């Protein structure tokens, strides 16, 4: 009987990711492109020299030890979890449909010329609806990067708008673009802000633009985009076009039936909990399980519903983890909801709609720690389920593949940064408090800025998802449940913390390979290089320029509950 994930996959847990443990399990790594164990690259850490890394997209990172034999219930989201959409094809579809909806609402037809660029948006940004800026912030609200349209603002410009380069997470002003569904929305907001700000027909004002008697605030532009996105997802053609072109927008893995079957064979229960409606869920899942065989090659094909003990659609997360909605049964023939409020036990093979975490947990006779829920939404799936429901959580972060690729592909840059840091330390090691003259580190600072700039561009226009300079980003900090609470903390002078609050240790930027002893020696945040992104002409080329944008730190920053 399969009692834990090691038996389930032939792998052992490690804070460096899952890696082969025993020689007889090395055959499991053939999926990584290695024919035998001699071909496997050894880990660099001498403490684990007998272990081997799997490819980045096949690794699992852990915040702390977890005994999977204690997990009795495995829950899965559907979108971007069981169903992995192809990028950037799927984001491009949502981007184009949202443009069309805005034009239908009266926006100029010129915006139809916008083309989605996946290198620009990154998750976890804040959008300031007052000034129309996209903000990359740290865990405390300190602004690391500020972008207005495609213009990266200078130090002085940021200070004019945000005293101390700090902003409180006020839900009435700030919207957090946290999910993978927000990526096309993020880029469209930047396109529209850039379009109206630079159009000769409009005059720029502090909180919007004007054209004669017509005034448009950045908040109204954002609200129009939000309503257009909601319309496309709920009433528009996004689901229809996705279903019509499943091969174009959806990845398919024949190991999925076997994966779910093995979990159930181990004695655990499996459920799917998704915000999607039943008709869409049924078509997506039918496609994902559309193989001539069942869980094994010799078994007959089975309906996707037979792989789950319980199925819940229209969950309306994160509301599901709070007061919830009425739990009703779904007629699988029509997709319509049956009359009445379901109060009896949940039956295998049936489909339910809505409900709440408390009701669902009680009906399946589970305790919070018995449940491991797998999802991609750091707030709707992870924070809420852990904070309110007490469920154990598993965060899907597709960006990790790119982050790890940069870490390995650009390892020479990290080595260069290490050498520069060693040189910096050598210049200060013989100095004490009586020293009157400071060493000249201007050349070293310039070299570190240059290498850091190259690293940022390797991740994308807005840098790493997890770090900016030596700071952990807001996105990575959210995985700590305490971040939902309102409290006051002092910002550390230099943040040396490893990335253990997101999904495990991911050396995502210079803070992972440098050891800075004081602000007087070097403050990378005060020398953060940023870029000016110019997509015009939007169907043609774009240009890049660089300039230095200093940042500062503030203390006693109260953190607020993040928005979905």
- Chain-centre distance for alpha carbon 478: 10
Percentage with pLDDT > 90 across the chain: 54
Report the alpha-carbon distance of residue 431 to residue 437 in Å, rounded.
9
Q: Give the β-pairing of 528-534 and 174-177.
A: unpaired
DSSP string for 33-76: T-SSGGGSPBPS-GGGTT-EEPPGGG----SS---GGG--EEEE
Of 56-60, 130-134, 351-355, 389-393, minimum mean pLDDT range: 56-60
Residue 507 · residue 415 · CB < 8 Å: no
More confident residue, 428 or 501: 428
Percent helix, strand, coil in the chain, to 5, is: 40, 20, 45
More confident residue, 35 or 115: 115
Could you tell me if residue 89 is inside a domain?
Answer: no
User: Residue 456's CB: how many other CB atoms inside 10 A?
Assistant: 23
Per-residue pLDDT of 520-558, as tens digits, reads: 333 333 333 334 444 443 433 333 333 333 333 333 333
Domain boundary among 29, 45, 67: 67
Residues 6+ apart with CB under 8 A from 162: 143, 146
Confidence of residue 8 (pLDDT cuts 50, 70, 90): very low
Distances (CA, A) of 392 to 78, 267, 404: 18, 18, 25
Task: Give the pLDDT mean for 333-360.
Answer: 94
Could you tell me if residue 541 is inside a domain?
Answer: yes
Q: In the beta sheet, which residues pair with residue 126?
A: 135, 176
Residue 517 · residue 525 · CB < 8 Å: no
Task: Give the pLDDT mean for 356-382.
Answer: 87
The reported pLDDT for the residue numbered 461 is: 92
Distances (CA, A) of 397 to 95, 196, 385, 470: 21, 33, 17, 21
Choose the most confident range, by mean pLDDT, from 158-172, 261-275, 485-499. 261-275
User: Residue 423's CB: how many other CB atoms inside 10 A?
Assistant: 14
The reported pLDDT for the residue numbered 389 is: 67
User: Residue 155's CB: how many other CB atoms inside 10 A?
Assistant: 17
Catalytic residue among 32, 77, 314, 440: 77
Widest distance between CA atoms in the chain: 83
Task: Give the pLDDT mean for 26-55.
Answer: 49
Distances (CA, A) of 149 to 98, 132, 197, 541: 18, 8, 8, 17
Would you say residue 207 has pLDDT above 90?
Answer: yes
Could you tell me if residue 295 is inside a domain?
Answer: no
The reported pLDDT for the residue numbered 497 is: 30
Domain boundary among 39, 67, 95: 67
Residue 123 · residue 547 · CB < 8 Å: no
Report the alpha-carbon distance of residue 346 to residue 268 in Å, rounded.
16
Number of domains in the chain: 2
Of 187-196, 298-307, 463-472, 555-564, minimum mean pLDDT range: 555-564
Q: For the chain, give the mean pLDDT.
A: 79
More confident residue, 470 or 20: 470
Helix H segments across 235-369?
Answer: 238-244, 246-249, 256-265, 278-288, 357-363
Could you tell me if residue 238 is inside a domain?
Answer: no
CA angle 269, 64, 182 (to 5 degrees): 75
Would you say residue 494 has pLDDT above 60?
Answer: no
Confidence of residue 467 (pLDDT cuts 50, 70, 90): confident
Could you tell me if residue 545 is inside a domain?
Answer: yes
Distances (CA, A) of 56 to 312, 368, 408, 457, 508: 31, 30, 10, 20, 13
79 annotated active-site? yes
Of 12-21, 36-45, 373-382, 453-462, minimum mean pLDDT range: 12-21
Report the alpha-carbon distance of residue 77 to residue 381 in Å, rounded.
8
The reported pLDDT for the residue numbered 431 is: 85
Percentage with pLDDT > 70 across the chain: 73
Could you tell me if residue 57 is inside a domain?
Answer: yes
Confidence of residue 388 (pLDDT cuts 50, 70, 90): low
Helix H segments across 429-502?
Answer: 442-459, 474-477
Peptide bond preceding 318 in cis form (omega within 30 of 0): yes
Q: In the beta sheet, which residues pair with residue 145?
A: 136
Residue 271 · residue 76 · CB < 8 Å: yes
What is the phi/psi pair of residue 176, to 5°?
A: -95, 120
Catalytic residue among 24, 45, 79, 247: 79
The reported pLDDT for the residue numbered 92 is: 98
Could you tell me if residue 300 is inside a domain?
Answer: no
What is the phi/psi pair of residue 91, to 5°?
A: -65, -35
Give one word for 133, left, alpha or beta, with left for phi > 0 and alpha for psi -120 to 50.
Answer: beta
Domain interval for residue 50 = 1-67
Could you tell me if residue 367 is inside a domain?
Answer: no
Would you say residue 30 has pLDDT above 70?
Answer: no
> Quick one: CA dihedral 227, 147, 399, 18, positive or negative?
negative
Q: In the beta sheet, which residues pair with residue 216?
A: 209
Q: Which helix (H) or strand (E) holds 177?
A: strand 174-177
The reported pLDDT for the residue numbered 393 is: 86
Per-residue pLDDT of 121-163, as tens digits, reads: 999 999 999 999 999 999 899 999 999 999 999 989 999 999 9
3-state secondary structure of 313: strand
The reported pLDDT for the residue numbered 382 is: 63
pTM across the whole model:
0.76
Would you say residue 252 has pLDDT above 90?
Answer: yes
Q: In the beta sheet, which residues pair with residue 204?
A: 209
409 annotated active-site? no
The reported pLDDT for the residue numbered 87 is: 96
Domain boundary among 30, 52, 67: 67
> Which residue, among 373, 446, 422, 427, has the nearest Cα to 73 in the 3D structure?
373
Report the alpha-carbon distance of residue 401 to residue 502 in Å, rounded.
14
Confidence of residue 67 (pLDDT cuts 50, 70, 90): confident
Q: Which helix (H) or strand (E) holds 330?
A: strand 328-330
Report the alpha-carbon distance of residue 82 to residue 374 in Å, rounded.
9
Residue 277 · residue 314 · CB < 8 Å: yes
The reported pLDDT for the residue numbered 471 is: 77
Q: In the beta sheet, which residues pair with residue 371?
A: 73
The reported pLDDT for the residue numbered 61 is: 77
């Amino acid at each position: 009987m399969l009692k834990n994930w090691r038996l389930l996959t032939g792998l052992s847990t490690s804070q460096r990711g899952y890696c082969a443990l025993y020689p007889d399990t090395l055959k499991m790594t053939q999926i990584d492109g290695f024919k035998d164990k001699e071909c496997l690259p050894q880990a660099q850490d001498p403490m684990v020299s007998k272990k081997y890394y799997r490819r980045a997209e096949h690794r699992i990172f852990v915040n702390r030890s977890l005994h999977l034999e204690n997990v009795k219930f495995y829950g899965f989201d559907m979108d971007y979890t069981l169903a992995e959409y192809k990028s950037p094809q799927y984001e491009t579809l949502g981007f184009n449909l949202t443009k069309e909806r805005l034009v239908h609402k009266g926006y100029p037809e010129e915006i139809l010329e916008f083309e989605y660029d996946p290198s620009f948006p990154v998750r976890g940004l804040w959008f300031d609806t007052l000034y129309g800026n996209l903000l990359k912030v740290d865990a405390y609200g300190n602004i690391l990067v500020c972008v207005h349209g495609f213009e990266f603002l200078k130090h002085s410009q940021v200070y004019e708008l945000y005293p101390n380069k700090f902003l409180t997470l006020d839900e009435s002003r700030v919207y957090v673009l946290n999910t993978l569904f927000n990526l096309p929305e993020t880029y469209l907001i930047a396109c529209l802000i850039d379009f109206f700000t630079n159009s000769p027909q409009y005059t720029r004002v502090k909180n919007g633009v004007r054209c004669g008697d017509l005034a448009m605030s950045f908040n109204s532009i954002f609200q129009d985009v939000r309503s257009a996105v909601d319309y496309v997802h709920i009433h528009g053609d996004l689901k229809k076009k996705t279903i019509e072109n499943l091969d174009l927008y959806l990845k398919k893995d024949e190991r999925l039936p076997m994966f779910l079957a093995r979990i159930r064979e181990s004695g655990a229960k499996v459920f799917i909990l998704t915000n999607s409606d039943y008709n869409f869920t049924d078509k997506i899942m039918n496609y994902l399980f559309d193989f001539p065989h069942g869980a094994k090659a010799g078994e007959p094909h089975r309906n996707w519903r037979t792989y789950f003990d319980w199925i819940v659609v229209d969950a309306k997360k994160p509301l599901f983890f709070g007061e919830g909605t009425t739990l009703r049964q779904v007629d699988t023939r029509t997709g319509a909801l049956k009359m009445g409020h379901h109060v009896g036990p949940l039956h295998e093979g049936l489909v339910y709609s809505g409900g709440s975490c408390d009701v669902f947990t009680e009906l399946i006779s589970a305790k919070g720690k018995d449940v491991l829920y797998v999802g991609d939404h750091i707030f709707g799936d992870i924070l809420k389920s852990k904070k309110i429901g007490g469920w154990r959580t598993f965060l899907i972060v597709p960006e990790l593949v790119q982050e790890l690729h940069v870490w390995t592909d650009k390892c020479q840059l990290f080595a260069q940064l290490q050498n520069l840091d060693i040189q910096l330390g050598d210049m200060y090691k013989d100095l004490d408090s009586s020293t009157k003259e400071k060493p000249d580190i201007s050349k070293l600072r310039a070299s570190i800025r240059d290498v850091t700039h190259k690293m940022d561009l390797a991740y994308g226009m807005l840098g790493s998802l997890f770090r900016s300079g030596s700071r952990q980003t807001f996105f990575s900090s959210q995985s700590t449940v305490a971040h939902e609470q309102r409290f006051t903390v002092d910002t550390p002078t230099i943040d040396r913390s490893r990335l253990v609050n997101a999904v495990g240790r991911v050396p995502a930027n210079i803070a992972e390979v440098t050891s800075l002893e004081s602000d007087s020696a070097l403050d990378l945040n005060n020398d953060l290089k940023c870029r000016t992104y110019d997509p015009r002409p939007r169907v043609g080329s774009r240009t890049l320029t660089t300039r230095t944008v200093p940042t500062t730190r503030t203390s006693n920053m109260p953190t607020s509950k993040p928005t979905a």
